[in-house]
Amino acid sequence: VRVDVLLTPGEVTPAHVTGRVVVVLDILRASTSIVTALRGGARAVIPFVATEDAVRTAKQYARGEVLLAGERNMVAIPGFDLGNSPREFTPERVKGHTVLLTTTNGTRALLSVEDAHEVLVAGFANCAATVEYLRTHLISGRDVTVLCAGTDGAFSLEDATCAGRIVRLLVSSGLFLHRNDGARVTELLAHRYGPDTGRLFADASHARRLAEAGFGADLDVCGAIDTVPLVAIYRDRAITRLDVPSASAA
């Protein structure tokens, strides 16, 4: 079985998607916001590329049932209920709501692979739960692609490092995996930073931009490892939490 890591969305080919489980990573901050919303009791998170599509879809729901969330250039979209800061996705705000989310890179990357056998959303927050779930697929012979959302089409250090953490955990769990060069290089990054996401974010340009824009406190949430032990799965146009025994403790 194979685990391939794609360092940017531009590397996606049909062969990386068809019949595979694809894990989408956008550590800063879409993935972290999504899993935080699900932990907080959101019914689902529905991803959109375009703001207008999210707004149009919101009108199909009863008032009070949905929350519009998202960012452009890191900042909350005017008129939306929430931005893209995981700290906003508290149980008080999201419980029982469907969150319609549009972000610059994360939701776009997710929708680019929606034809996969399964699509998962992961970050440092739900890394171990996701790895455990991926193991079951790999053991049954299903190949995995890890897609780094990156930033504006370019490589992001934090996404790649989390991808490497996932690959290393899979390998250290005893699986024999064929890995592409992307996977190999991300393993080196994960080895370099280990669990020190503070050091990682000090080196990562998007993390520095977030801090300069006043979102420095988000970095603590996005860098916290295995704080949200759930598997986030995208199917039938919605991201929900998958109830697997290992992920039921969230």
What is the rounded distance in angstroms from the CA atom of residue 18 to the CA atom of residue 26? Answer: 21
How near is the Cβ of 19 to ligand MLT at its closest, in Å? Answer: 26
As a whole number of angstroms, the longest Cα–Cα distance in the chain is: 50
How near is the Cβ of 71 to ligand MLT at its closest, in Å? Answer: 4
How near is the Cβ of 24 to ligand MLT at its closest, in Å? Answer: 10
4/71 with CB nearer ligand MLT: 71
How near is the Cβ of 171 to ligand MLT at its closest, in Å? Answer: 28
69/166 with CB nearer ligand MLT: 69
Backbone angles phi, psi at 133, to 5 degrees: -70, -40
What is the rounded distance in angstroms from the CA atom of residue 125 to the CA atom of residue 127? Answer: 6
Whose tokens are 């939701």? That residue is 107
DSSP states of 161-178 as a string? HHHHHHHHHHHHTT---E
What is the rounded distance in angstroms from the CA atom of residue 177 to the CA atom of residue 58? Answer: 43
> What is the contact surface with ligand MLT in residues (CB under 6 A)?
26, 28-30, 71, 74, 84, 103-106, 210
109/116 with CB nearer ligand MLT: 109
72/117 with CB nearer ligand MLT: 72
- Which residues, including other chains, have CB under 8 Å from residue 64's CB and lie 6 or more apart? none
What is the rounded distance in angstroms from the CA atom of residue 145 to the CA atom of residue 37? Answer: 24
How many angstroms separate the first and last alpha carbons of the chain?
30
**Residue 187 is inside which H or E element, if any?**
helix 181-193
How near is the Cβ of 152 to ligand MLT at its closest, in Å? Answer: 8
How near is the Cβ of 55 to ligand MLT at its closest, in Å? Answer: 18
Output DSSP code: residue 151.
B
76/175 with CB nearer ligand MLT: 76
64/152 with CB nearer ligand MLT: 152
